[in-house]
Structure 1
Amino acid sequence: MTETDFAFLRLLLRQRSGLALGPDKRYLAESRLSILCRRRGIESIDVLMQQVRLGRDGALEAAVVEAMTTNETLFFRDSTPFNVVRDVLLPEKLATSAGNRSLRIWCAAVSSGQEAYSLAMLIDGMADRLAGWRISILGTDISGEVLEKARTGLYSQFEIQRGLPIQMLLKHFSQRGDKWQVSERLRSMVEFRPHNLLERNDQFGRFDIVFCRNVLIYFDLPTKEKVLGLLAPRLAPDGALVLGATETVVGLATTLRPDPHQRGLYRQAPVMRPPVTSALAQRPSIGSTAAH
């Protein structure tokens, strides 16, 4: 890949997905785009980039962006956030929302679905306490390819072995040849939709819990600010944002604050209202210049 093509690719990725590809990642780009070339029957990366530069094939451009997107995920990845949902956030919701009995969760950058299905399994484990509740889990990702896999809920033995407890496997999966498929019950709990985190999201409404884990690490500071600025309004007033262990909103989003007791958990910052000055205090005193 030429220096010019690599510079063009870096700009394309930043504009389309927010991904900040470092100048030392040319080898990574060449590796992933070589695979794309073989799948598409394109002669070389040079030819691929020439076609993308022409701007006539939106599907090819999207394929390049998808090829460069990291889709690393596994079931119950970093168990702490799931424990926080089970032990802190869901009990809070049960206490505060007994009236409307509704729970909405958004898994942003859900990749091939393991995170969303992990949450579905966790919620299913509390079925007796959540009986009669309206529960919805939304999983979104920029990659149509991984979303299609997520919808089928079909995973290899290797993927199953990464983080999934054996009791969960036996309860929620059935074997399909050399793969395992999530039960229809769990699949019905999750909706998967395409979405770019850099784009408007108000069409999704508000959520009690938003997972956006291990995504911000791939963005530069302005992009992190933009993404957090778009995510914050999607939280219900008592909602919570869950980030990765190495991610933070500090210095990036004034409308969010860290939970003092739970690492990686963020909530809506209290709205600071200016003090109300009484009308009497504003009224000029008798004998003042303003009274004449």
Structure 2
Amino acid sequence: MTELEFETLRVFLKARSGLALSPDKRYLVESRLASVCTRFKIESLSRLIWEIKSGRSQAVENATIEAMTTNETFFFRDKAPFDLFQDVLLPRFIKERAASRRLRIWCAAASTGQEPYSLAMLLKEASARMPGWQIDIVATDISNEVLEKARAGIYNQFEVQRGLPIRLLVKYFTQKGDQWQIASDIRSMVDFRYLNLIEDFGRLGPFDIVYCRNVLIYFDTQTKADVLRRIAQQMPPDGALVLGASETILGITDALTLDPSYRGLYGKSASVSGASRPALVGIR
């Protein structure tokens, strides 16, 4: 693959997915796109780049984007964001939404579903405290392939051993041969949808809580700012955004503000929402 071909690929990925591929990632391109060449019987990476540039095959373009998208995830990943949900956010919104008894949650870049299913299990565990509530969990991703796996809710032994407490495995999963399927009532709690974050997502409607973890790190600063601004627009004045541990809004946007009490937690700026944001009270 020549420098020109690599640059063509970089421009394509940036325009179509927001992925900012640095020049030192050529090795990653070559390793990940080899499978695309094999799948579509394309003889070389150079020919694959030509196919992308020609725009002749939507399937090839989509497969290229999916191959270059990182889909690493597991149940209760990093633990702290789920303790935050269980101990701080959920008690807060049970109180704040007592009148409407409705809660909307968005998991962006949800990959194969472990994050939204982890939240769904926590909500199921808390269901006695929320009788009659309408809970909407919308989980989105740019890859149709991982969304299909997420909807099926079937995971191998390695996947259920990564972060999933044995108590929840026994309670909410059924073993099928050497695989495990999450219970249908948990699957039905999550609405999986295709979504490209660099495109308009206003149609999703407002969300009280947004989990957008470990995806902004792949965008350049301008794209991050745009995505964060539009996420803030989807949140009510007291909404909550949870980012990954290595992600920050500092120097990127003033549409959100850091909650100093909890790492990775952000709220809508008062200057944007037009109202002050309530302080969070809970277990730290």
Could you tell me the TM-score, scaled by structure 2's length? 0.94
- Residue by residue, what CA displacement relative to the aligned partner does 1:231-270 show, whole Å, maximum 9, x if unpaired? 1111122110000011111221212101121110000111
> Could you tell me how far apart the structure 2 residues matched to 1:51 and 1:188 are?
39
> Could you tell me how far apart the structure 1 residues matched to 2:180 and 2:203 are?
33
> Could you tell me how far apart the structure 1 residues matched to 2:235 and 2:182 are?
28
Change beyond 3 A, Cα 1:206–1:272: closer
> Could you tell me how far apart the structure 2 residues matched to 1:26 and 1:139 are?
31
Change beyond 3 A, Cα 1:101–1:22: same
**Residue in 2 that maps onto 1:177:** 177
1:133-282 pair list within 5 angstroms: 133-271=133-271
Bigger Cα displacement from structure 2, 43-52 vs 157-166? 43-52
Displacement of 1:96 in angstroms is 1.2
Q: Does 1:63 align with 2:90?
A: no
> Could you tell me how far apart the structure 1 residues matched to 2:10 and 2:215 are?
17
- SS of 2:237's equivalent in the other structure is strand
1:86-125 pair list within 5 angstroms: 86-125=86-125
Displacement of 1:51 in angstroms is 1.2
Displacement of 1:45 in angstroms is 1.4
Displacement of 1:39 in angstroms is 2.0
- SS of 2:247's equivalent in the other structure is coil
Q: What amino acid is aligned across from residue 263 of structure 1 in structure 2? A: R
Report how many aligned residue pairs link the two structures.
Answer: 274
- SS of 2:209's equivalent in the other structure is strand
Runs of 4+ in 1 over 3 A off after TM superposition: none
**Residue in 1 that maps onto 2:39:** 39
- SS of 2:91's equivalent in the other structure is helix
CA contact (8 A) 2:228 2:255 kept: no
- SS of 1:242's equivalent in the other structure is strand
Q: What amino acid is aligned across from residue 161 of structure 1 in structure 2? A: Q
> Could you tell me how far apart the structure 2 residues matched to 1:21 and 1:191 are?
30
Displacement of 1:220 in angstroms is 1.0
Bigger Cα displacement from structure 2, 42-51 vs 137-146? 42-51
Q: Which one scores higher on RCO, CA 8 angstroms, separation ≥ 6?
A: 2
> Could you tell me how far apart the structure 1 residues matched to 2:204 and 2:48 are?
35
> Could you tell me how far apart the structure 1 residues matched to 2:126 and 2:273 are?
39
**Residue in 2 that maps onto 1:282:** none
Q: What amino acid is aligned across from residue 33 of structure 2 in structure 1? A: L
> Could you tell me how far apart the structure 2 residues matched to 1:232 and 1:98 are?
23
Q: What amino acid is aligned across from residue 79 of structure 2 in structure 1? A: S
Q: What amino acid is aligned across from residue 12 of structure 2 in structure 1? A: L
> Could you tell me how far apart the structure 2 residues matched to 1:38 and 1:134 are?
46
- Residue by residue, what CA displacement relative to the aligned partner does 1:39-74 show, whole Å, maximum 9, x if unpaired? 222222122111111112122111111110001100
**Residue in 2 that maps onto 1:2:** 2
**Residue in 2 that maps onto 1:281:** none
Could you tell me the TM-score, scaled by structure 1's length? 0.91
- SS of 2:136's equivalent in the other structure is strand
> Could you tell me how far apart the structure 1 residues matched to 2:209 and 2:118 are?
14
Structure 2 residue ranges without an equivalent (≥5): 275-284
> Could you tell me how far apart the structure 1 residues matched to 2:166 and 2:272 are?
48
> Could you tell me how far apart the structure 2 residues matched to 1:190 and 1:144 are?
16
Displacement of 1:178 in angstroms is 1.4
Q: What amino acid is aligned across from residue 67 of structure 2 in structure 1? A: A
CA contact (8 A) 2:173 2:182 kept: yes
**Residue in 1 that maps onto 2:27:** 27
> Could you tell me how far apart the structure 2 residues matched to 1:100 and 1:190 are?
20
CA contact (8 A) 2:255 2:272 kept: no
CA RMSD of aligned residues (A): 1.4
